Amino acid sequence: MPRLQKRLHPLAAAVVLGFLWANWHLPLFLVSFYTTPYWLYVPFLMGASVIIGIGFEVSGESTITAIYLHGLLNVGIGVMLNEFLGKATIRDRLSTNVAEAAGFLGVAILLAISTRGRVGVTPSGVPIKDRSDTRLGTVGLR
């Protein structure tokens, strides 16, 4: 992420990283491991990348934070698909995947708007955690 942000706007860096992350999983699609269509998986991970990217930046670029948020993502998807959407009356699996992707993209869009596209990085390019005046409640909203 830091290397991408040297070349790209923070939001664009998170989206590009999400695209690369989705393609990292491409072999699992080739062996039919996932039931989610690839064309829905890519935007889903782009949205997830924005969310995890904000956590990464706000934590002072902590890899542990990114790993933790990735784990929460995996657990959350399992609960959402099995306990929530798995028990709902839905016509087909595609509807479930669309709901999943739309949810993560929606949250990512709201976070991008609320951070003015900076995704946890100040206009000067310094992660918010590194600022001396960081206060709870103002993180990412300047």
Q: What are phi and psi of 121, to 5 degrees?
A: -115, 135
pTM, to two decimals: 0.64
- The residue ranges of every structural domain in the chain are 2-130
Q: How confident is the model at residue 90 (pLDDT cuts 50, 70, 90)?
A: low
Summarised one tens digit per residue, pLDDT across range 101-140 is 777 777 778 877 777 766 666 555 555 555 444 443 444 4
Q: Which residue has the tokens 């969310």?
A: 51
Provide CB contacts within 8 A for 59, sequence distance 6+. 65, 129
